[in-house]
Structure 1
Amino acid sequence: MYYPDKKEYLYKSANYNLIPVYKKYIVDTETPTTIFLKASGPDKEMFLLESIEGAKRLSRYSFIGVNNEKTVRYKTGVFSLEENGKIIIKNKSEHPLLELEKVIGQYRIYKDPELNHFTGGAVGYLGYDLVKYFDSIVLPESSLDIPEMILFLTDTIIVFDHLLNTVKIIAAVKINEDIGPEKAYDISIEKIKDLEEKIFNNNDNKENKIYSNITNVNGPLSSLSATGINNIKELNLSSNFEKDVFLDSVERAKKYIIDGDVFQLVLSQRFESLNQKRPFDIYRALRILNPSPYMYYFNFRDFQIIGSSPEPLIKITGRKILTCPIAGTRRRGVSQREEKRLVNDLLN
């Protein structure tokens, strides 16, 4: 059963040009990673936002982005918009978010009350280096040579419900001059059927078989077992910091804090290793080593991003914006005396 049905969809299309269509499945024998592998290809740009650990209300859903209608990229002052691998917009701009707003502003999205979670949209990253476009901060030249911003505009997404052991496949094709409401609905149904076939009916998925044969399930389990690496020394890691330079930076950071120039400063090192391990295997190792409510794997065209976090920076629900960092916070006290104690605890 597809929701909404075609009649209801056509009725809603009078006011909206992006309407999610979905179908629900029971998946008590699947996991987000197995579904990701079945839906993916070796060069397919996709993402996995996975919740592994935490209360069900916090870690209820995992999201798999499958088809990207468009991709936004911003690099060294050039904003580009790709559609099906072809660049349709490319211009110089010092206002990347304004350019992004022009693209997203074209969508009139229907909010289905039955879908009280993320249903697709712009997914990716806004790099720290973007700060130079919003504030007068001079940054050193980056040696990574990657875009400062990449966002997938995803039109097909798989939602894994950890509480109910169900999956929704959601497709939302934009209605425009070339694709009318009826055609948009039919295309959405075909996208759902295509994924249904890959996930539930295709037992000859080569990509899934490759991954399933990597780990010796009868061997000792370690955080590196999924990658086939037996010892951390095999990675031959190198840092972009010499040890004495890093320690000196720590002392300077302490002084900046004491002087009141900053209240928080993060000193990061970039560790590099040349290896032939598959990026998704490294993600699998991370989910063993550091399971969390907020894990992510992005397969971009030329590189991958893998990460894990115990908390969100910002959460938006409807018209409400919530931020609740774990570090540097305490609950409110029930009395002035307790408030003072908690304040002193934070200061020390």
Structure 2
Amino acid sequence: MYQPKFADFEAFAQRGNLIPVYREILADVETPVSVLKKLQHRDHVYLLESVEGGEKWGRYSFIGTDAGVVFKVRGPKVILEEKGRVSVREHHGDPLGAMRKLLGRYQPVATPGLPRFFGGAVGYLGYDMVRYFEKLPDAPPDDLNLDEAVFVISDSLIIFDNTRHTIKVVACAYMEDADTPEDAYQKACEKIEDMIELLSLPGGQSAPPPRTNGVSFESNMTPDQYKAVVEKAREYIAAGDVIQVVLAQRFCTPCTVDPVDLY
């Protein structure tokens, strides 16, 4: 049975334009990781889970998929991927303002029976985003060509209740994408059924990676370069110019392991 019922959904649609619809099923032998493996072929899938107090497993695990919107920050520009279209615009030094404007289009209505989180913008802010908030020295060369920030807004969410051993399959109905409440509700229910059918399929097994005698890592700095950075930090400390120094180097190695298996 879908929740909320359509009569309640129609009433919720008077209060906002984003209403989560869900169906609850038994988790059986599924785990968050086994479901993640079934969904990993999709773009922009994420898994959120946590440990409370350092030792107690969090009650909920969340898997998001079907990204309706992807928000990226790259240099002075914001890149939006939405419904197969890509738009690029300037953020004028305020990328989070652009994010705030994007999120302003949504007026979510909480559905009884769901945890507080039932979708939203999930992603990361890269370290260099701090340069939009503080005046800092010039950034080091970008040799990885990574986005400074990436957030996805997923239309579908799978919520594991690790206490009750159930799964809530959630589809967020965005009223602006539908002609009528009936249309929005029907599309959400169909999306839920498609997801449940996918969960019922046997999970694929990753081929074991070839065994090696050892793994070697390569740094992005030579030992002499790193020592020079340490000496410069010591000079700053002696001069009283810094209160904290983070000296880091990047170590890389080729990896053929399935990302989910690595997790």
Indicate whether 1:272 and 2:252 are aligned.
yes
Q: Identify which of structures 1 and 2 has the higher relative contact order when contacts are C-alpha pairs closer than 8 Å and 6+ apart.
A: 2
- Cα 1:136/1:274, change in 2 over 3 Å: same
Q: CA deviation at 1:165?
A: 1.5
How far apart, in 2, do the equivalents of 1:257 and 1:114 lie?
A: 54
How far apart, in 2, do the equivalents of 1:274 and 1:177 lie?
A: 43
- In the other structure, the counterpart of 1:111 is 110
What is the RMSD computed on CA atoms of the aligned residues?
Answer: 2.3
Tell me the amino acid that sits aligned with residue 58 of structure 2.
S
Tell me the amino acid that sits aligned with residue 185 of structure 2.
Y
- In the other structure, the counterpart of 2:35 is 35
Q: CA deviation at 1:112?
A: 3.0
How far apart, in 2, do the equivalents of 1:59 and 1:265 lie?
A: 34
Tell me the amino acid that sits aligned with residue 77 of structure 1.
P
SS at match of 2:174: coil
User: Are the aligned partners of 2:38 and 2:204 in contact in 1 as well (CA < 8 Å)?
Assistant: no
SS at match of 2:175: coil
- Cα 1:268/1:106, change in 2 over 3 Å: same
- In the other structure, the counterpart of 1:97 is 96
Q: CA deviation at 1:184?
A: 1.3
How far apart, in 2, do the equivalents of 1:177 and 1:254 lie?
A: 58
How far apart, in 2, do the equivalents of 1:34 and 1:123 lie?
A: 21
Which deviates the most, 15-24 or 272-281? 272-281
- In the other structure, the counterpart of 1:84 is 83
Q: CA deviation at 1:256?
A: 4.5
- In the other structure, the counterpart of 1:188 is 188
- Cα 1:10/1:136, change in 2 over 3 Å: same
How far apart, in 1, do the equivalents of 2:238 and 2:167 lie?
A: 51
SS at match of 1:171: strand
User: Which sections of structure 2, spanning at least 5 residues, go unmatched?
Assistant: none
User: Are the aligned partners of 2:171 and 2:189 in contact in 1 as well (CA < 8 Å)?
Assistant: yes
- Cα 1:31/1:82, change in 2 over 3 Å: same
Q: CA deviation at 1:85?
A: 2.9
TM-score relative to the length of structure 1? 0.68
- C-alpha deviations, 1:205-237, integer Å up to 9, x for none? xxx3242xx34xxxxxxxxxxx5444442xx32
- In the other structure, the counterpart of 1:122 is 121
Q: CA deviation at 1:254?
A: 5.5
- Cα 1:257/1:14, change in 2 over 3 Å: farther
Structure 1 runs of 4+ with >6 Å offset: none
SS at match of 1:74: strand
Count of residues in correspondence between the two structures: 260
- In the other structure, the counterpart of 1:242 is 222
Q: CA deviation at 1:258?
A: 6.6
User: Which sections of structure 1, spanning at least 5 residues, go unmatched?
Assistant: 216-226, 284-348
How far apart, in 2, do the equivalents of 1:111 and 1:258 lie?
A: 55
User: Are the aligned partners of 2:160 and 2:166 in contact in 1 as well (CA < 8 Å)?
Assistant: yes
- In the other structure, the counterpart of 1:61 is 60
User: Are the aligned partners of 2:169 and 2:192 in contact in 1 as well (CA < 8 Å)?
Assistant: yes
Identity level (%): 35
How far apart, in 1, do the equivalents of 2:197 and 2:145 lie?
A: 38
SS at match of 2:143: coil
User: Are the aligned partners of 2:4 and 2:111 in contact in 1 as well (CA < 8 Å)?
Assistant: no
How far apart, in 2, do the equivalents of 1:280 and 1:105 lie?
A: 33
- In the other structure, the counterpart of 1:209 is 204
How far apart, in 2, do the equivalents of 1:29 and 1:181 lie?
A: 35
- Cα 1:85/1:269, change in 2 over 3 Å: farther
How far apart, in 2, do the equivalents of 1:162 and 1:66 lie?
A: 20
Tell me the amino acid that sits aligned with residue 152 of structure 1.
V
How far apart, in 2, do the equivalents of 1:114 and 1:35 lie?
A: 22
User: Are the aligned partners of 2:125 and 2:148 in contact in 1 as well (CA < 8 Å)?
Assistant: yes
- In the other structure, the counterpart of 2:146 is 146
SS at match of 2:199: helix
SS at match of 2:156: strand
User: Are the aligned partners of 1:61 and 1:159 in contact in 2 as well (CA < 8 Å)?
Assistant: yes
Tell me the amino acid that sits aligned with residue 204 of structure 2.
K
TM-score relative to the length of structure 2? 0.88
How far apart, in 2, do the equivalents of 1:264 and 1:4 lie?
A: 52
